[in-house]
Amino acid sequence: MKKNAKYIPALRFNWLTRFYDFLISKFLGEKKWKELIIASVVNHRPEKKLDVGCGTATLTIMLQKEFLAASVTGIDGDSKILAIADKKIKEAELNINLKETLSFNLPFADDHFDVVVSSLMLHHLSDEDKQKTLHEIIRVLRPGCHFVVADWGKPNSIFIRWLFYIVQLLDGFAITKSNLKGLLPSMIIDAGFVAVKELQRIPTMLGSISIISSKKP
Ligand SMILES: C[S@@+](CC[C@H](N)C(=O)[O-])C[C@H]1O[C@@H](n2cnc3c(N)ncnc32)[C@H](O)[C@@H]1O
Ligand 1 centroid–CA 125 distance in Å is 10
* Ligand 1, atom 26, residue with closest C-alpha: 10
pLDDT at residue 18, rounded to an integer: 78
Ligand 1 centroid–CA 11 distance in Å is 9
Q: Is residue 47 included in any domain, yes or no? A: yes
Q: Measured from the CB, is residue 58 less than 6 Å from ligand 1? A: yes
Q: Is residue 117 included in any domain, yes or no? A: yes
Q: Measured from the CB, is residue 207 less than 6 Å from ligand 1? A: no
Ligand 1 centroid–CA 51 distance in Å is 10
Burial class (CB in 10 A: 0-12, 13-18, 19+), 176: buried
Residue 157's alpha-carbon distances to 25, 98, 122, in angstroms, are: 22, 37, 22
Q: Is residue 3 included in any domain, yes or no? A: no
pLDDT at residue 67, rounded to an integer: 79
**DSSP 3-state percent helix, strand, coil across the chain (nearest 5):** 45, 25, 30
pLDDT at residue 126, rounded to an integer: 93
Predicted TM-score (pTM) of the model is 0.93
pLDDT at residue 45, rounded to an integer: 72
CATH number at residue 34: 3.40.50.150
3 state SS of 88: helix
Q: Is-contact 211 36, C-beta < 8 A? A: yes
* Ligand 1, atom 17, residue with closest C-alpha: 7
Ligand 1 centroid–CA 197 distance in Å is 23
Q: Is residue 75 included in any domain, yes or no? A: yes
For 155-182, what is each residue's pLDDT tens digit? 999 999 999 999 999 889 999 999 999 9
pLDDT at residue 3, rounded to an integer: 43
Q: Among residues 99, 76, 96, which one has the least CA distance to residue 88?
A: 96
Q: Measured from the CB, is residue 54 less than 6 Å from ligand 1? A: yes
Ligand 1 centroid–CA 24 distance in Å is 13
Distance CA(48)–CA(144), nearest Å, equals 14
pLDDT at residue 84, rounded to an integer: 94
Q: Is residue 132 included in any domain, yes or no? A: yes
The residue segments making up the domain with residue 94 are 14-215
Strand (E) or helix (H) holding 208: strand 208-215
- Number of domains comprising the chain: 1
For 10-34, what is each residue's pLDDT tens digit? 667 777 777 777 788 777 888 888 9
Q: 49 - beta bridge partners?
A: 72, 115
Q: Is residue 161 included in any domain, yes or no? A: yes
pLDDT at residue 81, rounded to an integer: 92
Q: Is residue 8 included in any domain, yes or no? A: no
**Mean pLDDT, each 10-residue run in order, the chain (217 residues):** 58 74 81 91 81 96 85 94 95 94 96 95 95 98 96 96 93 94 98 97 94 97
* Ligand 1, atom 8, residue with closest C-alpha: 119
Query: Within 10 A of 96 (CB to CB), how many other CB atoms are there?
Result: 22
Q: Is residue 5 included in any domain, yes or no? A: no
